[in-house]
């Protein structure tokens, strides 16, 4: 094992890593999602058959609500398909894509979910990304999968030059998939079992944590997971505490007691590091969405055993099946060294997504993305 990878994750034990301290800057539960996030009502950049709605429509159509357990729910329309316009097929289903009203730098992003969208034709994602021209400033996918199949996939996307060393496999629980973080398909690893699809929902969801420390000799970028049945005494307080009862700060030293992450994207250990993270990661917003029949869904639809000639046919004919295409979120909790309000929300289309697929297609690598991700399922 390359020693610098071990020290990046367990720096406090070996005395090489630099401890970073982060304060809680935002926590969203229940109705707070309506003020901490804004709805993104534009065309889907992944070419999905989806009509993203605004907040008013989402609430009026019961596509978002707070349930009796104070969980925030994001749902997909189960009724007739609707016109969506643009260059995609002309009909689709209403859904939600929401972005945080704030940007964060290094720190921890914690989400507790009770249910993740699942089923044929679905492609849910929980991620952070730059609000600038993609992929400048980077993207980190924390929860993602297609057609309800396989285990959770965590990915990172950057501009050219960032690599993940294959030896990270020895520093993580998940299975290494791709090492080149540039554009699509990005660098990625899949989680262990029961972390996506019907399996995680049957187990009552779980806790996902993304730690980001891009400083020189810092802890790097990792994604952790605990299932919902984990004994509370074994959960880090910052992760398992009920809304607004969590510790006010957390340090990267504390992750020593967490064990190996599911995914480790490496750390910046100076000259010779495969990816100097501070060069590739900027201020990020948090994004939650559910698209349908986009590039990934379409490319893996038949392999997933979905019973229809195509993803589009399934989407049109099986409205009731999309009752399972819902997020049930207990909370999102953010610790960060910087947490600033966005000033460009009103009328602004985040370039984080509008540009990413255009760039990928222009570079002729959209097919690579489809092939690479289909192998994850």
**Nearest residue to 361 (alpha-carbon basis) of 188, 186, 183, 187:** 183
What's the CA angle centered on 131, arms 188 and 190, to 5 degrees? 15
Dist. CA 154–CA 215, nearest whole Å: 21
Dist. CA 129–CA 99, nearest whole Å: 10
pLDDT at 346: 53
Residue 57's SS3 state is helix
Contacts of residue 338, Cβ cutoff 8 Å, sequence gap at least 6: 103, 104, 105, 106, 283
Map tokens 């309800």 to a residue.
148
pLDDT at 87: 52
pLDDT at 18: 76
Examine the pLDDT at 279 and tell me if it is beyond 70.
yes
Read off the pLDDT of residues 300-359 as tens digits, 9 standing for 90 and up.
Answer: 999 899 989 999 999 999 999 999 999 999 999 999 998 999 876 654 444 444 444 343
Read off the pLDDT of residues 249-270 as tens digits, 9 standing for 90 and up.
Answer: 999 999 999 999 999 999 998 8
Examine the pLDDT at 366 and tell me if it is beyond 70.
no
Residue 262, φ and ψ in degrees, nearest 5: -65, -40
Dist. CA 77–CA 60, nearest whole Å: 12
Dist. CA 305–CA 332, nearest whole Å: 33
CB of 27 closer than 8 Å to CB of 334 = yes
Looking only at Cα atoms, what is the longest distance across the chain?
60
Dist. CA 145–CA 117, nearest whole Å: 9
- Which two three-digit tokens encode residue 292? 């349908």
| Lowest model confidence (mean pLDDT) among 24-28, 141-145, 167-171, 367-371 | 367-371
- As a whole number, mean pLDDT of residues 166-191 equals 94
Report the chain's mean pLDDT, rounded to a whole number.
Answer: 88
What's the CA angle centered on 151, arms 192 and 74, to 5 degrees? 125
Dist. CA 365–CA 377, nearest whole Å: 20
What is this structure's pTM? 0.89
Residue 269: burial class (beta carbons within 10 Å; 0-12, 13-18, 19+)? buried
What is the CATH number assigned to the segment(s) 21-341? 2.60.120.200
Examine the pLDDT at 367 and tell me if it is beyond 50.
no
Examine the pLDDT at 224 and tell me if it is beyond 70.
yes
The residues spanned by each domain of the chain are 21-341
Band (17; pLDDT cuts 50, 70, 90) = low
Q: What is the distance in angstroms between the CA of the first residue and the CA of the last residue of the chain?
A: 28
CB of 33 closer than 8 Å to CB of 331 = no
Read off the pLDDT of residues 203-212 as tens digits, 9 standing for 90 and up.
Answer: 999 999 999 9
Band (272; pLDDT cuts 50, 70, 90) = confident
Dist. CA 236–CA 258, nearest whole Å: 8
Residue 355, φ and ψ in degrees, nearest 5: -95, -25
Read off the pLDDT of residues 100-146 as tens digits, 9 standing for 90 and up.
Answer: 999 999 999 999 999 999 999 999 999 999 998 999 999 999 999 99
* Helix (H) or strand (E) segment spanning residue 368: helix 366-374
């Amino acid at each position: 094992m390359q020693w610098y990878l071990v020290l990046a994750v367990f720096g406090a034990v070996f005395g090489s890593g630099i401890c970073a301290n982060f304060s809680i800057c935002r926590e969203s539960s229940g109705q707070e999602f309506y003020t901490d996030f804004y709805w993104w009502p534009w065309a889907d950049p992944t070419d999905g058959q989806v009509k993203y709605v605004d907040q008013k429509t989402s609430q009026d159509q019961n596509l978002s609500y707070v349930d009796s357990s104070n969980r925030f729910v994001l749902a997909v329309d189960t009724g007739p398909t609707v016109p969506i316009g643009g260059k995609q097929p002309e009909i689709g289903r209403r859904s939600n894509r929401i972005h945080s009203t704030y940007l964060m730098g290094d720190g921890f992003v914690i989400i507790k979910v009770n249910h993740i969208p699942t089923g044929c034709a679905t492609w849910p994602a929980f991620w952070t990304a730059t609000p600038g021209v993609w992929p400048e400033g980077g993207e980190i996918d924390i929860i993602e999968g297609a057609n309800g199949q396989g285990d959770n996939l965590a990915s990172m996307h950057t501009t050219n030059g960032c690599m993940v060393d294959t030896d990270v496999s020895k520093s993580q629980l998940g299975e290494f998939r791709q090492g080149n973080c540039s554009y699509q398909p990005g660098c990625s690893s899949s989680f262990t079992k029961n972390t996506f699809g019907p399996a995680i929902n049957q187990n009552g969801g779980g806790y996902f944590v993304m730690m980001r420390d891009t400083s020189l000799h810092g802890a790097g970028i990792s994604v952790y997971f605990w299932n919902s049945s984990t004994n509370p005494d074994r959960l880090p307080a910052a992760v398992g505490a009920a809304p607004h009862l969590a510790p006010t700060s957390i340090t990267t030293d504390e992750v020593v007691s967490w064990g190996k992450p599911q995914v480790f994207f490496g750390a910046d250990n100076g000259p010779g590091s495969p990816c100097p993270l501070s060069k590739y990661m900027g201020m990020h917003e948090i994004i939650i969405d559910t698209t349908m029949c986009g590039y990934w869904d379409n490319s893996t639809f038949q392999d997933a055993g979905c019973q229809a000639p195509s993803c589009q046919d399934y989407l049109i004919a099986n409205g009731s099946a999309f009752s399972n295409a819902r997020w049930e979120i207990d909370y999102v909790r953010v610790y960060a060294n910087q947490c600033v309000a966005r000033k460009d929300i009103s009328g602004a289309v985040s370039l984080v997504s509008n540009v990413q697929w255009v760039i990928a297609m222009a570079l002729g690598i959209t097919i690579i993305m489809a092939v690479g991700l289909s192998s994850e399922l």
